[in-house]
């Protein structure tokens, strides 16, 4: 069976070979463009994404090839825009993170079906961003870029720094000047250049777009701007892994955090590809988007029944999700409505409570984005909008050690005692 997301110009006509990637296709008008470092359609300025020519006809053979592959995202190389020999090249090799069955959390939330946490804090720089950057590195190599760059709310900066160091590329990343200190340190430690911008993420992103059009940015691959179509495909591997780890089965429900919205849209794309390839049974699934109340433009549009997402100025502790003008917001709305899901938000105190709930019940310390997804899951169950009897997967996309400030004010020692048993008993700690 041949599966083709959209027809396009073969990669070899433009001198690059990126596996099954055939062309770039406009998500708005369908206009096709040869593979290259471009992100917007020349005809309508709509966003571009990868169109594939997947090999067809041997579903069982493809499944066996995947299962025999390395324990990272390169096991799915036949479904990604990467060269066939990608696993042999220096890369951070992220992916195949744990899918944790969360029975204690399920009991707390009143879930009677199965609840799972897809814990992407286990990636090399402790966030899901390693997945997308790994794909972007291969595109940067193919197009001859010498500097890897990005606009970032923190996690992406660290992932780019690490991947560039591993690949032997220069890195220069741009962040809002007031990010969490843990993320700043992690981005800087890999030896690349780290530049703080006086403004929020949307200001940083605008600056990077200007830099691409300037001679000062020549030879630079911005993973989430001019390499965005390739970069975004890395999020599909979350969908692939979840289904494989469930025994090649679609989950009934997924709760996904929303920053730009790209991750959610690519997870949906990945699920549809697995169905089209015959790797999973075609049956309904629901996708729920999760935002922080202090930056919830997509949630607001969903609740108001709008198709347009109005930008906001972020004000939340969930800084990794603090994108006030999410590029993929309208596509998130389409997917939530098409699948019967929803987009919801929670306030900062509930985010902190959810971080502590996940840590207390499952031993997983999530960053604030994970607190958002768990908090939204709890809210959706309480309001009867997420079915507690079904199989649900909740994403934790980063490590709580990066956002200690969020929980530090409400945590600390149970007691401080003198080093003797009497003091221990006086503190009421004896069993």
Is residue 245's pLDDT more than 90? yes
Is residue 132's pLDDT more than 90? yes
Largest CA distance in the chain: 79
> What are 260's two structure tokens?
């730009």
User: What SS3 state is found at 133?
Assistant: helix
In sign, the C-alpha dihedral spanning 308, 313, 319, 323 is positive
Give the mean pLDDT of 131-141: 97
Give per-residue pLDDT as tens, 257-308. 999 999 999 999 999 999 999 999 999 999 999 999 999 999 999 999 999 9
pLDDT score, position 67: 98
Separation between Cα atoms, residue 106 and residue 271, nearest integer Å: 24
Separation between Cα atoms, residue 364 and residue 104, nearest integer Å: 12
pTM exceeds 0.85, yes or no: yes
pLDDT score, position 181: 86
Task: Provide the mean pLDDT of the chain.
Answer: 94
- In total, the chain counts a number of residues equal to 431
User: What SS3 state is found at 416?
Assistant: coil
Give the mean pLDDT of 323-340: 97
The string of DSSP codes covering 264-324 is HHHHHHHHHHHHHTTSS-----EEEEEEETTB-HHHHHHHHT-SSPPP----SS-GGG--S
CB 243, CB 250: distance < 8 Å: yes
Of the chain, the end-to-end C-alpha distance in Å amounts to 64
Give per-residue pLDDT as tens, 401-418. 999 999 999 999 999 999
C-beta atoms surrounding 7 within 10 Å: 12
């Amino acid at each position: 069976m041949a599966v083709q997301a959209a027809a396009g110009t073969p990669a070899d006509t433009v001198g690059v070979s990126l596996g099954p990637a055939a062309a770039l296709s406009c998500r708005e008008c369908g206009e096709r463009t040869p593979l290259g470092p471009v992100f917007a359609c020349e005809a309508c300025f709509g966003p571009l994404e990868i169109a594939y020519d997947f090999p067809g006809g041997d579903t069982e053979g493809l499944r066996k090839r995947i299962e025999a592959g390395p324990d990272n995202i390169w096991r799915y190389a036949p479904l990604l825009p990467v060269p066939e020999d990608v696993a042999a090249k220096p890369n951070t090799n992220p992916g195949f993170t744990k899918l944790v069955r969360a029975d204690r959390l399920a009991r707390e939330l009143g879930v009677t079906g199965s609840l799972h946490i897809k814990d992407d804090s286990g990636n090399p720089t402790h966030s899901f961003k390693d997945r997308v950057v790994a794909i972007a590195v291969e595109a940067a190599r193919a197009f001859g870029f010498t500097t890897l760059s990005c606009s970032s709310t923190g996690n992406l900066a660290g992932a780019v720094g690490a991947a560039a160091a591993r690949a032997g590329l220069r890195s220069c990343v741009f962040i809002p000047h007031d990010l969490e200190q843990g993320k700043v340190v992690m981005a800087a430690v890999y030896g690349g250049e780290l530049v703080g911008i006086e403004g929020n993420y949307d200001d940083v992103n605008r600056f990077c777009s200007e830099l691409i059009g300037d001679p000062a940015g020549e030879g630079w691959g911005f993973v989430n701007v001019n390499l965005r179509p390739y970069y975004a495909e890395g999020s599909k591997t979350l969908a692939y892994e979840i289904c494989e780890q469930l025994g090649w089965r679609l989950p009934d429900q997924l709760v996904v955090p929303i920053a730009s919205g790209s991750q959610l849209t690519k997870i949906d794309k990945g699920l549809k590809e697995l169905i089209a390839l015959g790797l999973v049974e075609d049956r309904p699934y629901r996708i729920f988007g999760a935002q922080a109340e202090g930056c919830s433009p997509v949630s607001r549009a969903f609740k108001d029944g709008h198709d347009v997402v109005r930008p906001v100025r972020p004000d939340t502790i969930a800084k990794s999700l603090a994108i006030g003008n999410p590029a993929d917001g309208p596509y998130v709305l389409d997917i939530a409505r098409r699948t019967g899901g929803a987009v919801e938000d929670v306030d900062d105190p509930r985010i902190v409570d959810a971080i502590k709930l996940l840590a207390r019940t499952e031993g997983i310390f999530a960053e604030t984005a994970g607190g958002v997804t768990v908090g939204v899951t709890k809210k959706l169950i309480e309001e009867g909008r997420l079915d507690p009897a079904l199989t649900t997967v909740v994403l934790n996309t980063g490590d709580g050690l990066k956002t200690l400030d969020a929980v530090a004010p409400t945590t600390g020692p149970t007691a401080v005692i003198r080093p003797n048993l009497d003091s221990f008993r006086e503190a009421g700690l004896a069993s």
